[in-house]
Amino acid sequence: MQNTALNIVCNQEYAQSVPHVHFHIIPAPQLGGSPRIDATRVVPRTKRELHQLEYEERSELDEDEGRELAEKIRAKL
């Protein structure tokens, strides 16, 4: 939990059997690498590049790790 950045996602309606609004609070990934560099300026990554990097950083979370992470998140709220 060294990274304090968060992604907050609001989901509603899509793929729900009971319509409701809910939020996901997700620690933002600390993506490796650097932005692309043009001859005159730094070029930010595209949305597609960011999604790909985020996907590559994912790993399976076992139940014990999940409980520990949930406790840490609750303590910070």
Nearest partner of 26 among 49, 47, 5, 50, judged by Cα: 5
Q: Is the pTM of this model over 0.75?
A: no
58: its two tokens: 């994912």
- Domain chopping of the chain, boundaries: 6-76
From the CB of residue 73, how many other CB atoms can be counted at a distance below 10 Å?
A: 14
Task: Measure the CA–CA gap between 13 and 23, rounded to whole angstroms.
Answer: 12
> Which helix (DSSP H) or strand (DSSP E) does residue 68 occupy?
helix 63-76
pLDDT in tens, the chain (77 residues): 677 788 888 888 777 788 888 888 877 777 666 656 666 777 777 888 888 887 887 888 899 999 998 898 889 88
* Residue type (1 letter), 9: V
Task: Measure the CA–CA gap between 26 and 11, rounded to whole angstroms.
Answer: 13
